[in-house]
């Protein structure tokens, strides 16, 4: 791995001596935060907060982030300040995520090379795939595996990640204006995997259903081996339902949350309108699985659903039926001591706070 994002912060060594941290996940239409304290060998969830904006229901471009690699500091800062005011965290030290659609991912194959030669080869090849000048992006890569091509030649496969420096600068400015000390940034796939999967788990596909998009990750040995994204999420389901039933987006959102895919009788129309958009996501998940399995000759057996969209009623059973794989329950809060009062909402919170939890785990690891 090279050019780590954490290298942009000169005070990270000092920050890591702190005993409390905020894990902040800035999504397309929401902000999620965990306030975690370390006491000895224990990590304690002191508080959490989830703040959703409904502007996307009024207008299609109401998201605080877009897939055009832009983060709106003007729209996000008031939300972050409100969340901080409501949660009243016990620290100013924060770690934050970068959404996958603010990054470029590409799998690159090279002949077998020494580490120093591989670094030069990857930087050169990155210019062919990243649609920005290389000096305007932060680049990281991780070696995925060794393999032989069709001609029996030894090859290496790498996953390259590039994040625009403009995104990093915007996040640094945002947190500074909110009065927080930003000590670390990670592309969201890393904290997501960290909170849900251990290195001993079998090969797993994670489906992270957000508001405006869905992230698809294949993880082996605790390492992300494939990344894909679909521009469909919870908001897409809301808008499709509103169009199908000719109702307002606000009414559609309420019906979606209440019935999900379990509508029957007079509400069967609700589920029927949602299923085609769920299928778009699952079709892409199937394509990514098939590509991975055909390339590596390895089999994926488990799926984990996470993100706010994983709380859609009936989606667990529908995914099991259509994928014919084992659906695992990923508890992103399992590493923390939590108050008993959150137990009734634990499953929902685990889905929504997975990235924020993984960020806190990184800080204390």
Q: In the chain, how many domains are there?
A: 1
Coil, strand or helix at 69: coil
Report yes or no on 129 lying in a domain: no
CATH number of the domain at 267, please.
3.30.420.40
Tens digits of residue pLDDT in 294-305: 988 999 989 999
Dist. CA 324–CA 143, nearest whole Å: 30
According to the model, what pLDDT value does residue 59 have?
A: 52
In sign, the C-alpha dihedral spanning 9, 215, 312, 198 is negative
Report yes or no on 94 lying in a domain: no
Q: Which of 278, 345, 268 is nearest to 317 (CA)?
A: 278
According to the model, what pLDDT value does residue 112 have?
A: 86
CA distances in angstroms from 70 to 170, 171, 359, listed in the order given: 9, 11, 21
CA distances in angstroms from 361 to 34, 90, 100, 103, 312, listed in the order given: 11, 17, 19, 22, 27
Asked whether 321 and 269 are in contact (CB, 8 A), the reply is: no
Which residue segment(s) compose the domain that 277 sits in? 198-329
Report yes or no on 253 lying in a domain: yes
According to the model, what pLDDT value does residue 149 have?
A: 81
Report yes or no on 44 lying in a domain: no
Tens digits of residue pLDDT in 328-344: 988 999 999 999 999 99
Coil, strand or helix at 241: helix
Report yes or no on 346 lying in a domain: no
Q: Which residues of the chain have pLDDT under 50?
A: 1-4, 6-16, 61-62, 66-68
Report yes or no on 132 lying in a domain: no
Query: Cβ neighbours of residue 160 under 8 Å, at least 6 residues apart?
Result: 104, 105, 106, 107, 108, 122, 125, 126, 129, 139, 140, 141
Burial degree of 2 (CB within 10 A; 0-12, 13-18, 19+): middle
According to the model, what pLDDT value does residue 349 have?
A: 94
According to the model, what pLDDT value does residue 67 have?
A: 46
């Amino acid at each position: 791995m090279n050019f780590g994002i954490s290298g942009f912060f000169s005070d990270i060594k000092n920050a890591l001596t702190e005993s409390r941290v905020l894990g902040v996940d800035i999504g397309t239409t929401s902000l999620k935060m965990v306030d975690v304290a370390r006491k000895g060998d224990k990590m304690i969830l002191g508080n959490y907060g989830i703040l959703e904006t409904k502007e996307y229901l009024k207008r299609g471009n109401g998201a605080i982030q877009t897939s055009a690699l832009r983060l709106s500091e003007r729209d996000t800062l008031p939300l972050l300040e409100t969340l901080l005011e409501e949660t009243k965290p016990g620290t100013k030290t924060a770690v934050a995520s970068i959404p996958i659609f603010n990054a470029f991912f590409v799998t690159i194959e090279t002949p077998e090379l020494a580490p120093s030669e591989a670094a030069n080869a990857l930087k050169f090849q990155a210019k062919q795939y990243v649609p920005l000048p290389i000096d305007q992006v932060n680049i990281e890569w991780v070696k995925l595996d060794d393999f032989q091509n069709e001609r029996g030649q030894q090859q290496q496969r790498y996953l390259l990640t590039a994040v625009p420096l403009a995104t990093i600068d915007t996040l640094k400015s945002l947190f500074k204006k909110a009065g927080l000390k930003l000590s670390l940034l990670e592309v969201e796939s890393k904290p997501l995997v960290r909170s849900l999967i251990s290195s001993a788990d079998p090969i797993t596909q994670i489906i992270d259903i957000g508001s405006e998009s869905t992230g698809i990750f294949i993880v082996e040995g605790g390492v992300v081996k494939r990344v894909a994204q679909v521009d469909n999420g919870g908001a897409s389901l809301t808008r499709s339902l509103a169009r199908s039933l000719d109702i307002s987006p606000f009414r559609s959102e309420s019906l979606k949350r209440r019935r999900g895919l379990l509508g029957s009788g007079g509400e069967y129309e609700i589920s029927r309108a949602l299923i085609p958009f769920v299928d778009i996501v699952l079709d892409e998940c199937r394509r990514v699985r098939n590509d991975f399995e055909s390339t590596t000759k390895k089999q994926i057996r488990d799926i984990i659903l996470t993100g706010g969209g994983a709380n859609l009623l009936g989606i667990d059973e529908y995914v099991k039926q259509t994928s014919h794989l084992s659906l695992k329950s990923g508890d992103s809060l399992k590493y923390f001591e939590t108050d008993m009062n959150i137990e009734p909402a634990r499953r929902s919170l685990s889905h929504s706070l997975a990235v924020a939890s993984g960020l806190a785990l990184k800080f204390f690891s």
